[in-house]
C-alpha cells in the first residue's frame, strides 16, 4: 500500500511525505469509507472481531484512485485524429464531434463508454467538459450517479467564434447552467458542477459576466476553462481583449480566478501569471500528452513549482492520447526532461520524481480541486476510492521490477512502463467496480 500524505516536492527521497506498507491492511467501513490503514501486524493487533470479508492482494500495490483534472468526454471518439494544431484541430475534429451531443441517446452511449475507459485505467475522479448542450451533461451526470463516482462536470458556455449550431447565448448559458447546478451540484450522487466557458475566444464579455455570476452565486462550484495553450490562440486573445494585460488577466478581470478555478494547460504563462494563480489558490491542469500531440509546447513545471501553484495532471482527451494517468505521468516526466537545455544548468532544474508524479495524480489533484478531505489518499475518514496495481502486469514490467532496488525505482517503473494492463482492480466507495461486457459498447 502506498499513498502520499503531503507534497513530496522534488527530492528523490521525500522522507515523511508518503506512507508505504509492504504488508499492509486497509480497513473499510460498511458504508465505503476508509476506517483504518497500517501494517498487517499493527492492524491485526487492534481488531479482535472477525471482519466481514478479507480480500488478499499480496504482491500488489494498493494506491488511491487516480484523479484526472481535465478532459472532454464528447471528444472520446476523436482521440488520435491526425494533423493540425489547436485552432484547426478544434474546427476539423472537436466541433464536428461535439455537434452530435444534441442527441441525448448518443450522449448516453458515449458517457457509458467514457466511464468504462476511465475506470479500467484506474481513474476514479475527473473534472470533465461536456458540450454546449444541456443534455450532454445530464447524460454524463446520470451515468456517474449510477456508478457512484465522484466527478465534477459542466456544460460548455460558448456564444461566438464557433459553428452556429454549437452556440448558446449569455442568457441561455446562465439559465441552463443554473438549472444543472440546482439539480445536481452537491445534491445527487457524488457530483459537483463546474461553470465551463470553453475559453475566452468563444465567450463574449456578456457571457464571461454570466460565468462570473454563476461562479460566485453558488457554494463550492468550480470554474473550468483553458488558458495559454497555443501561440495563435494567445494572439487572438490579444485582439479580442486589448485592454487586458495578459491571457490569465482576461479571466481575472471577470473575477474568474480563485479557489476551485482550474485552468487547463498554461504552457505560455509568465511569472506574474503563475504568481497570480498561486495568490488566488487557482490551479493548473498539466496535460502533457495533449501538449505534445498538438505541438502546443512544454509546460514549465519548474516555474510552477517555484511559484507554488496548485497543480494536477489532465489527460485532455481527445487532444490527449491516453486515458491512462500512468502514461500521462510518463509524458510529463519527458516534458520536464526536454527543458534541461544546458547541461551546466541541469543541477538547478527540477525533475519530476516518481513520488511527485503520483502526488500530482492523487493527493495533489485532490488539493487542486479542494477535495483533499474526501479523496486523494488512504487516510481514515476518506472515501474508499482506490485501485490495485500489479507490478508484474507485463513481461517487461516483471523483468524491470526484479532489478528495482527501492520504492522510488518501482514507482518509476510503474510510471514509465505501466498502463491499463496494470490496473487489476478498482474500488468506488469501498465497492469493487465490475467492468461491463464490452459487447455493450459501440
Ligand atoms: N481550447 C479550447 N477548446 C479546447 C479543446 O477542446 N481542447 C483543447 N486541447 N484546447 C482547447
Ligand atoms: Zn481541453
- At 161, list the grid cell: 467564434
Give residue-wise pLDDT tens across range 132-163: 999 999 999 999 999 999 999 999 999 999 99
198 CB less than 6 Å from ligand 1? yes
Q: Which atom of ligand 1 is nearest to the CA of 290?
A: 9
At 48 the pLDDT is 81
Residue 86 in contact with ligand 1 by CB distance below 6 A: yes
pLDDT digit string, tens, across residues 155-195: 999 999 999 999 999 999 999 999 999 999 999 999 999 99
Output the residue whose Cα is nearest ligand 1's atom 7: 319
Residue minimizing CA distance to atom 9 of ligand 1 = 319
Q: What is the pLDDT of residues 203-249, one digit of tens each?
A: 999 999 999 999 999 999 999 999 999 999 999 999 999 999 999 99
pLDDT confidence of residue 47: 87
What is d(CA 365, CA 223) in angstroms, rounded to the nearest whole number? 15
Ligand 1 pocket member 133 (CB < 6 A)? no
Query: Of ligand 1's atoms, which has the minimum distance to the CA of residue 318?
Result: 7
Q: CB of 357 within 8 A of CB of 59? A: no
The pick from 226, 296, 299 for probing ligand 1's pocket by mutation, whose C-beta has the most ligand atoms within 8 angstroms, reads 226
Tens digit of each residue's pLDDT (9 = 90 or more) over 38-94: 999 999 999 887 888 899 999 999 999 999 999 999 999 999 999 999 999 999 999
Q: Is the CB of 98 under 6 A from ligand 1?
A: no
Average the pLDDT over 385-408 and give the result: 97
**Atom number of ligand 1 nearest to Cα 229:** 10
Rounded distance from Cα 323 to ligand 1 centre (Å): 16
Q: Is 102 exposed, middle or buried (CB count within 10 Å of its CB: 0-12, 13-18, 19+)?
A: middle
- Rounded to whole angstroms, the Cα distance separating 363 from 375 reads 7
Q: Does residue 439 surpass a pLDDT of 80?
A: no
DSSP structural state of residue 161: S
**Crossing angle of the two packed helices 395-403 and 407-417, in degrees rounded to 10:** 160
What are the tens digits of pLDDT across the range 308-333? Answer: 999 999 999 999 999 999 999 999 99
Asked if 291 and 247 touch (Cβ cutoff 8 Å), the reply is: no
pLDDT band at 337 (very low <50, low <70, confident <90, very high): very high
The pLDDT assigned to 349 comes to 65
Is there an atom of ligand 1 within 6 Å of 61 CB?
Answer: no
Query: For a substitution probing ligand 1, which of 99, 154, 199, 288 has the most ligand atoms within 8 Å of its CB?
Result: 199
Residue 316 Cβ inside 6 Å of ligand 1? The answer reads: yes
> Residue 398: what pLDDT?
98
Pairing of strands 156-157, 61-64: unpaired
Q: Is 94 in the pocket of ligand 1 (CB under 6 A)?
A: yes
Residues 363-392: what's their mean pLDDT?
A: 98
399-416 pLDDT, tens digit each: 999 999 999 999 999 999
The answer to whether the CB of 346 falls within 8 A of the CB of 260 is: no
- Determine the average pLDDT of the residues in 348-354: 84
- Residue 27 burial by CB count (10 A; 0-12/13-18/19+): exposed, middle or buried? middle
**Residues above pLDDT 90, as percent of the chain:** 93
Q: How far is the CA of 287 from the centre of ligand 1 (A)?
A: 11
Give Cβ neighbours of residue 95 (< 8 Å, ≥ 6 apart).
162, 163, 166
Domains 2-64+377-435 and 66-352 share a fold: no
pLDDT of residue 87: 98
Q: How far apart are CA 234 and CA 305, in angstroms?
A: 23
Q: How far is the CA of 129 from the centre of ligand 2 (A)?
A: 8
pLDDT bucket at 441, cuts 50 / 70 / 90 = confident
- Give residue 440's pLDDT: 78
Query: Could you tell which of 90, 91, 268 is best to mutate to test the pocket of ligand 1, judged by most ligand atoms within 8 Å of the CB?
Result: 90
What pLDDT, on a 0 to 100 scale, did the predictor assign at position 348? 63
What is the pLDDT at residue 345?
56
Burial 392-407 (b: 16+ CB within 10 A, else e): ebeeebeebbeebeeb
Q: Is residue 229 lining ligand 1, measured as CB closer than 6 Å?
A: yes
Span 66-352: which CATH code? 3.20.20.140
What is the value of pTM for the model shown? 0.98
Residue range 2-64+377-435, CATH number: 2.30.40.10
Rg (CA), the chain: 21
123-129 vs 156-157, strand pairing mode: unpaired
Ligand closest in space to the Cα of 247: 1
State residue 247's pLDDT score: 98
Would the pLDDT of 125 be above 70?
A: yes
- Position 347 pLDDT exceeds 70: no
Average pLDDT, integer, range 358-382: 98
Say what the pLDDT of residue 346 is. Answer: 55
Q: What is the residue extent of each domain of the chain?
A: 2-64+377-435, 66-352
- Which ligand is in closest contact with the Cα of 89? 1
Nearest ligand (C-alpha, residue 90): 1
Report the residue count for the chain: 442
Amino acid at each position: 500500500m502506498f499513498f502520499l500524505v503531503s507534497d513530496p516536492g522534488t527530492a528523490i527521497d521525500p522522507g515523511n511525505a508518503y506512507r508505504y506498507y509492504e504488508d499492509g491492511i486497509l480497513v473499510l467501513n460498511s458504508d465505503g469509507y476508509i476506517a483504518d490503514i497500517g501494517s498487517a501486524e499493527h492492524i491485526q493487533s487492534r481488531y479482535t472481531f472477525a471482519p466481514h470479508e478479507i480480500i488478499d492482494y499480496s504482491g500488489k500495490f494498493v494506491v488511491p484512485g487516480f484523479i484526472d483534472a481535465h478532459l472532454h468526454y464528447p471528444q472520446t471518439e476523436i482521440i488520435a485524429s491526425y494533423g493540425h494544431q489547436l485552432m484547426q484541430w478544434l474546427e476539423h475534429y472537436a466541433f464536428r464531434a461535439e455537434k452530435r451531443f444534441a442527441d441525448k441517446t448518443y450522449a448516453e452511449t458515449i458517457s457509458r463508454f467514457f466511464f468504462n475507459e476511465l475506470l479500467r485505467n484506474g481513474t476514479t475522479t475527473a473534472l470533465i467538459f461536456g458540450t454546449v448542450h444541456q443534455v450532454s451533461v445530464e447524460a454524463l451526470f446520470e451515468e456517474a450517479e449510477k456508478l457512484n463516482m465522484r466527478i465534477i462536470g459542466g456544460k460548455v458556455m460558448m456564444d461566438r467564434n464557433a459553428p452556429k449550431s454549437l452556440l448558446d447565448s449569455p442568457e441561455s448559458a446562465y439559465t441552463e447552467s443554473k438549472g444543472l447546478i440546482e439539480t445536481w451540484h452537491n445534491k445527487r450522487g457524488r457530483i459537483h458542477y463546474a461553470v465551463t466557458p470553453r475559453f475566452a475566444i468563444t465567450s463574449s464579455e456578456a457571457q464571461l459576466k454570466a460565468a462570473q455570476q454563476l461562479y460566485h452565486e453558488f457554494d463550492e462550484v468550480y470554474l473550468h476553462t483553458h488558458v495559454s495553450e497555443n501561440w495563435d490562440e494567445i494572439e487572438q486573445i490579444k485582439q479580442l481583449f486589448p485592454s487586458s494585460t495578459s491571457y490569465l488577466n482576461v479571466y481575472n478581470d471577470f473575477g474568474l480566478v480563485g479557489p476551485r478555478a482550474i485552468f487547463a494547460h498554461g504552457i505560455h504563462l509568465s511569472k506574474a501569471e503563475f504568481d497570480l494563480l498561486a495568490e488566488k489558490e487557482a490551479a493548473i491542469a498539466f496535460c502533457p500528452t495533449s501538449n505534445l500531440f498538438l505541438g502546443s509546447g512544454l509546460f514549465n513545471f519548474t516555474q510552477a513549482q517555484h511559484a507554488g501553484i496548485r497543480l494536477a495532471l489532465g489527460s485532455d482527451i481527445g487532444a490527449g492520447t491516453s486515458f491512462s494517468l500512468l502514461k500521462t505521468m510518463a509524458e510529463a516526466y519527458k516534458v520536464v526532461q526536454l527543458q534541461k537545455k544546458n547541461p551546466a544548468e541541469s543541477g538547478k532544474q527540477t525533475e519530476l520524481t516518481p513520488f511527485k508524479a503520483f502526488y500530482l495524480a492523487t493527493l495533489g489533484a485532490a488539493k487542486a480541486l479542494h477535495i483533499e478531505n474526501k479523496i486523494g489518499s488512504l487516510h481514515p475518514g476518506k472515501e474508499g476510492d482506490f485501485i490495485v496495481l500489479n507490478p508484474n502486469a507485463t513481461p517487461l514490467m516483471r523483468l524491470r521490477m526484479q532489478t528495482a532496488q527501492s520504492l522510488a525505482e518501482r514507482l518509476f517503473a510503474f510510471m514509465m512502463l505501466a498502463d491499463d494492463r496494470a490496473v487489476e482492480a478498482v474500488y468506488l466507495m469501498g465497492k469493487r467496480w465490475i467492468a461491463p461486457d464490452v459487447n455493450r459498447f459501440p
